[in-house]
Amino acid sequence: MRFKSVSETLCSRTILWFSTLMFFICALSWLSFAHPPAGADDGLYTSAQAEQGKKLYATRCAGCHGAGLGGQSAPPLAGPRFEQNWISTTTLDDLFFLMRTTMPLSMSKSLTAEQHAAVFAYVLQQNGYPAGNTPVQPETPQLKTMRVLSRITSSLASGGPAPLYVPGDPKNIPPEPPPSFIPGDAKNLPTNGGPTQEQLNAAARSGHDWLYHTHDYSGARFVPLNQIDSTNAKRLQVVCAFQVGEVANFQTGPIVYQGTMYITTSHTTIALDASNCRPKWRQNWEPKSLEPWGPHTNRGVAIKDGRIVRGTADGYLLELNAQTGDLIWARRVADAMAGETFSMPPMIFEDLILIGPAGSENGISGWIGAFRLSDGTEVWRFKTVPGVDEYNSQTWKNPTHIKLGGGAVWTPLSLDPEKGELYVAVANPAPDLPSELRPGDNRYSSSVIALDVHTGQLRWYKQMVPNDAHDWDLTQVSPIFKTKVNGQERDLIATVGKDGILRLVDRTTHDTLYATPVTTIKDVDKPVTPEGVSVCPGVLGGVEWSGPAFNPASNLLYVGAVDWCTTFYSAKTARFIPGKLYMGGTIQLDDTSQGWLTAIDSSSGKVRWHYRSPRSMVAAVTTTSGNIVFGGELTGDFIVLDAVSGDVLYRFNTGGSIGGGIVTYEIDGKQYVGVMSGRLSGFWIDNNPGAPTVFLFALP
């Protein structure tokens, strides 16, 4: 062993001391940029301002973003996920702009400018920014040059030091890009199982299963079962209830196949025994990328050949073994950084998974795509707003050269398997409100598009709201059905959207045969101005994610709707922040709302009856050959109505808002009704939203 000399020892200690000193100098340098030193006016807000914001946050924000700002049904406002969502070219000024123009959701004008600033001060405080002597306000100059604090990068927009990485500290390791493909174990592949393509094609005639989000490819939400009928519905009883066990949004539309029910939340997929609510398996998805709207909403799965498929909020397609829940593969097919997120239930036809991303309000350039069932590889994509990239597009004129987008897809599809024709409801253009900044029809926003399901080629389209200025997405392209109109049998498709009008379109001639309002229509032709204009339906009005049902025996269409007016305020300019809300103005919901369930003669478009609910009606509507209609209310009531008269035959309060699927099916000769109860989202806050729960009903 060799002993060090005194000089060597002193030298080593000097180097160690110098290295340590330099490390702390660098660390302090980084901290001075990431956390500006307290004192004088170096802070961005005052302690009193943050204290006021804390109280406001508890009453106006915590219900969605969580009491600790960690996110709940809305994105987090502190912590690693918050940092991940905001580590980009955006600044604190961008964050403050979005908070004061969009929060609380659809009610930003319910807070004063001072209150918005106080909440922002509290968010800054909870993210490590020190207080000072000057209250934060939109004109605070430092906001334009500072980023959201990160444990990975510097907080300055430019001119700051390079990121400091501390060896051994995992907090300072830059995140790797999300994987594009995640293979499962080969053992997870199903060895058998259904349903087959033949079963999916024939699903409209099945009372045993519920094989697509809207029951079958036609989307009629009609089930040929009559064990429960208008004479005995009053005797329904609860068979069982399953509590999901999450504080999550619950808009899922169940799939039922051979006695198993499949449901989803934003991150979880669950299989239940559809006769007794007992869980069979649960699969949890850990997000690999940011979720543009946080753990928002997922509306369900698709099933075929022993495989379950769903989308995720961070842009992945997942395929699971239907028997075990094991992962077969996951593939990233949407761009979460650009604001694309999956909320819709996919459709499976032959070897194709059909799905598109939500995110019109983020200014995405929308699309609908087809991906292989075997591994998720892309087959085709159709651009739903092809003119947004062309400044001289005839339908997307762009005189000020702003960012244009929209055309998201977030609600169920429908399909004619014989024609090989896929029908897609395309959402609003973006920026949402200042339509004068994007002159033209803005094709194909707010339209039904018919595509060749095998190639993605456009066959025809019908635009329902040209140059939309009210966020009036087309939301439904179903049911597909045949009936006589003016004495002649026609091949038809019903469309409904947030403009509150049910339209019947001839699928051969593409003519609109009638347009019937299903909610209050008022001042829809008034232009949206910076001064504001009150319009009905509002931004959350009309028909949302649950479409009409068609009963061939009564020849009636049944559709639930929202009656909720809004004051719209456009902006003179549109401020685009990548991946974030791009409204081009603000909105203020009315204090009151109500809902309608309307029965319409499908041959004439005449209203046969109305059922009025004290709250918006967004739950699924299902009808059967038992001469009844199933529905649900935000009051928590599951209701059964007479299909012809609209009389209420049965009512049961589930204890939570009903806004998801209502399905019916048969197991071992017994007819069941499945009702999804629980919190919907921050848009539909209720005094008693309830926890996500599945209820099953049947006759005794």
Rounded to whole angstroms, the Cα distance separating 677 from 654 reads 7
How many domains does the chain fold into?
A: 3
| DSSP tag of 107 | B
Same domain for 562 and 649? yes
* Whether pLDDT at 12 is above 50: no
Rounded to whole angstroms, the Cα distance separating 668 from 440 reads 56
Q: What is the percent of the chain with per-residue pLDDT over 90, rounded to a whole number? A: 76
* Whether pLDDT at 39 is above 60: no
Residues 31, 128: contact at Cβ < 8 Å?
Answer: no
Same domain for 140 and 215? no
Rounded to whole angstroms, the Cα distance separating 130 from 489 reads 72
* 364-375 pLDDT, tens digit each: 999 999 999 999
Any idea which of 404-408, 515-519, 552-556, 572-576 has the lowest mean pLDDT?
572-576
Same domain for 239 and 334? yes
DSSP string, 6-74: HHHHHHHHHHHHHHHHHHHHHHHHHHHHHSPPPSTT-SSS-HHHHHHHHHHHHHHTHHHH-TTSS-SSS
pLDDT of residue 687: 65
Query: Within a domain: residue 180?
Result: no
Q: How confident is the model at residue 88 (pLDDT cuts 50, 70, 90)?
A: low
The mean pLDDT value for 660-665 works out to 98
The mean pLDDT value for 5-17 works out to 37
pLDDT of residue 686: 67
Rounded to whole angstroms, the Cα distance separating 435 from 366 reads 18
Question: 388: helix, coil or strand?
Answer: helix
Any idea which of 265-269, 292-296, 493-497 has the lowest mean pLDDT?
292-296
Residues 68, 82: contact at Cβ < 8 Å?
Answer: no
DSSP string, 110-156: GS-HHHHHHHHHHHHHHTTPPP-SS---TT-GGGGTBPPP-SSS-SB
* Whether pLDDT at 283 is above 60: yes
Q: How confident is the model at residue 27 (pLDDT cuts 50, 70, 90)?
A: very low
On the 0-12 / 13-18 / 19+ scale of CB atoms within 10 A, 621 is buried
Residues 494, 512: contact at Cβ < 8 Å?
Answer: no
Query: Within a domain: residue 585?
Result: yes
Joined together, the tokens standing for residue 334 give 């949407």
* 601-619 pLDDT, tens digit each: 999 999 999 999 999 999 9
Q: What is the residue range of 366's domain?
A: 186-698
Query: Within a domain: residue 420?
Result: yes
Which single residue is written with the structure tokens 């600033």?
117
Rounded to whole angstroms, the Cα distance separating 82 from 126 reads 12
The mean pLDDT value for 248-277 works out to 97
DSSP string, 520-586: --BSTTSPP-TT-EEEBS-TT-B--SS--EEETTTTEEEEEEEE--EEEEE-SS----TTS---SEE
Query: Within a domain: residue 417?
Result: yes
pLDDT of residue 295: 86
Same domain for 286 and 434? yes
Same domain for 283 and 423? yes
* 188-218 pLDDT, tens digit each: 999 989 999 999 999 999 999 999 999 999 9
* 298-327 pLDDT, tens digit each: 999 999 999 999 999 999 999 999 999 999
Q: How far is CA 86 from the centre of its chain?
A: 20
The mean pLDDT value for 290-298 works out to 89
pLDDT of residue 447: 98
With a CB cutoff of 8 Å and minimum separation 6, the contacts of 211 are: 195, 199, 200, 203, 255, 256, 257, 303
The mean pLDDT value for 58-67 works out to 87
* 461-490 pLDDT, tens digit each: 999 999 999 999 999 999 999 999 999 999
Residues 663, 200: contact at Cβ < 8 Å?
Answer: no
- Report the CATH number that the domain containing residue 418 is assigned in CATH: 2.140.10.10
Joined together, the tokens standing for residue 254 give 């169940």
Same domain for 515 and 421? yes
Joined together, the tokens standing for residue 84 give 């991940």
| Encoded amino acid at 310, one letter | R
Residues 163, 152: contact at Cβ < 8 Å?
Answer: yes
Same domain for 292 and 143? no
The mean pLDDT value for 138-164 works out to 58
Same domain for 18 and 61? no
- Report the CATH number that the domain containing residue 106 is assigned in CATH: 1.10.760.10
Query: Within a domain: residue 428?
Result: yes
| DSSP tag of 215 | S
Rounded to whole angstroms, the Cα distance separating 475 from 657 reads 21
Who has greater pLDDT, 86 or 45?
45
Same domain for 379 and 333? yes
Residues 324, 189: contact at Cβ < 8 Å?
Answer: no
Question: 625: helix, coil or strand?
Answer: coil
Rounded to whole angstroms, the Cα distance separating 642 from 474 reads 29
Paired residues of 332 in beta bridges: 316
* 397-453 pLDDT, tens digit each: 999 999 999 999 999 999 999 999 999 999 999 999 999 999 999 999 999 999 999
pLDDT of residue 17: 38
Which of 162, 196, 224 is the endpoint of a domain?
162
The mean pLDDT value for 514-542 works out to 96
Same domain for 19 and 39? no
Rounded to whole angstroms, the Cα distance separating 370 from 347 reads 10
Query: Within a domain: residue 532?
Result: yes
Q: What is the percent of the chain with per-residue pLDDT over 70, rounded to a whole number? A: 89
Query: Within a domain: residue 167?
Result: no
The mean pLDDT value for 40-44 works out to 68
Same domain for 517 and 382? yes
Same domain for 7 and 63? no
Rounded to whole angstroms, the Cα distance separating 154 from 183 reads 35
| DSSP tag of 176 | P
Query: Within a domain: residue 168?
Result: no
Rounded to whole angstroms, the Cα distance separating 435 from 527 reads 9
* Whether pLDDT at 14 is above 80: no
Which of 96, 129, 162 is the endpoint of a domain?
162
pLDDT of residue 150: 55
Any idea which of 67-76, 247-256, 334-343, 500-509 has the lowest mean pLDDT?
67-76
pLDDT of residue 4: 38
Task: Quote the mean pLDDT of the chain.
Answer: 89
